[in-house]
Each structure stands twice: as C-alpha cells, then as structure tokens.
C-alpha cells in the first residue's frame, strides 16, 4: 500500500532534515518538523508518491512558516541551547552558526527561497512551485536574501580564509 515510502524516508530524510534545520535554525525543531511532514506523507502516500520530493519541500516550507508565525515576535532561543552536537570551536562551526543566525534574520519566504535555491540547488521554477509564488517573486526573494546573507558571511569567510593562508 505504501510502496516506496520506506525507501523515500531512508534516502531523503537527511536532505529534508538539512532544509528543515536551515528553515527553523534549531536541530530539535527541525527533527520534529521532518517527522511531522513524513507522517503526513505516510497517510497520503498513495496519492502523492509520484511527486514526494515536491510535496515534502512544500510541506516543510509551509509548516516552518506557520511555526514562525506562531512564535510571533518572541525571541528565538540561541542555537547553542538546543543543538545536541558536541561543541567545538572549528571554523566550520563558526560558519554554521553564522549561516544559521543570518538565515534566522531573514523573513521566512526569503529564507526558504535561499535554502531551496542554494542548499537544494533547485531551479527557480521548482522553488516557485514550493513557495506557491511566481518565478519573479523567487528571484527577488533570493536576491534580497543573498544580499543580507553575504553581508553576514563575508567577514567570517574572509577571516577563515585568512586563517588558512
């Protein structure tokens, strides 16, 4: 009845977790989000199994945005208090924290557009489908999002490159 569902979960759940992590900025929230979306897909699998990727992406984006709306203007807890990864101080972690912080500062749709376009490497048309908006809208969201992301990341990447030199 759910032919292919297990394979989909095994092969794609890590990818979905990465998207969810950048959308929420929080490891536990991301895991919850992915589990919720996959459970939803389990129920509807017979109807959606020909396009599970598209369904999952859109459901993740919608649920992440709803979560953000529910949280309203309450300040988000710092990543460090939630992340279960063992702390270290490598440049890798510095980049990660900066990326997450910079994405967190973006409005949800800009954040989703950047993540889908640059983490998932999706074409603009696919991103537009996931966000239910026009391609032009995606391009402008990505452009604005990237400007802010570059501003945040430039000092970090410059520093780490200098450190390697």
Interacting residues toward another protein by CB under 8 A = 1-3, 5-7, 9-11, 13-14, 17-18, 21-22, 27, 30-31, 34-35, 38-44, 46-51, 54-55, 58-59, 62, 85, 92, 95-96, 99-100, 114-115, 118-119, 121, 129, 132, 146, 149-150, 153-154, 157
Could you tell me the smallest distance in angstroms from the CB atom of residue 63 to another protein? Answer: 11
Those residues whose C-beta lies under 8 Å from the C-beta of residue 109, and which sit 6 or more positions away, are 65, 131, 133, 141
- The sign of the dihedral angle between the CA atoms of 126, 137, 104, 74 is negative
Give residue 135's region: left, alpha or beta (phi > 0; psi -120 to 50).
Answer: alpha
Residue number with CB closer to another protein (31 or 76): 31
Could you tell me the smallest distance in angstroms from the CB atom of residue 73 to another protein? Answer: 23
Residue number with CB closer to another protein (10 or 73): 10
- The sign of the dihedral angle between the CA atoms of 81, 100, 37, 59 is positive
Q: Please, are residues 150 and 103 in contact by the beta-carbon 8 Å criterion? A: no
Residue number with CB closer to another protein (81 or 90): 90
Residue number with CB closer to another protein (74 or 83): 83
The whole-angstrom distance between residue 22's C-alpha and the CA centroid of its chain comes to: 4
Residue number with CB closer to another protein (10 or 70): 10
Helix ranges restricted to H, 49-107: 52-71, 91-104
Could you tell me the smallest distance in angstroms from the CB atom of residue 74 to another protein? Answer: 23
Could you tell me the smallest distance in angstroms from the CB atom of residue 95 to another protein? Answer: 5
CA gap 62, 64 in Å, rounded? 5
Could you tell me the smallest distance in angstroms from the CB atom of residue 70 to another protein? Answer: 16
């Amino acid at each position: 009845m759910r032919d292919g569902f297990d394979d989909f979960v095994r092969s794609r759940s890590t990818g979905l977790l990465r998207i969810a992590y950048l959308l929420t900025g929080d490891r536990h929230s991301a895991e919850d989000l992915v589990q919720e979306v996959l459970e939803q897909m389990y129920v509807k699998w017979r109807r959606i199994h020909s396009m599970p990727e598209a369904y999952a992406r859109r459901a993740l984006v919608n649920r992440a945005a709803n979560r953000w709306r529910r949280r309203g203007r309450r300040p988000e807890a710092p990543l460090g208090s939630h992340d279960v990864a063992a702390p270290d101080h490598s440049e890798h972690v510095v980049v990660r924290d900066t990326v997450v912080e910079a994405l967190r500062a973006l409005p949800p749709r800009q954040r989703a557009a950047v993540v889908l376009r640059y983490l998932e490497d999706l074409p603009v048309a696919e991103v537009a489908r996931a966000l239910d908006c026009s391609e032009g809208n995606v391009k402008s969201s990505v452009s604005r999002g990237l400007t802010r992301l570059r501003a945040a990341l430039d000092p970090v990447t410059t520093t780490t490159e200098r450190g390697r030199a």
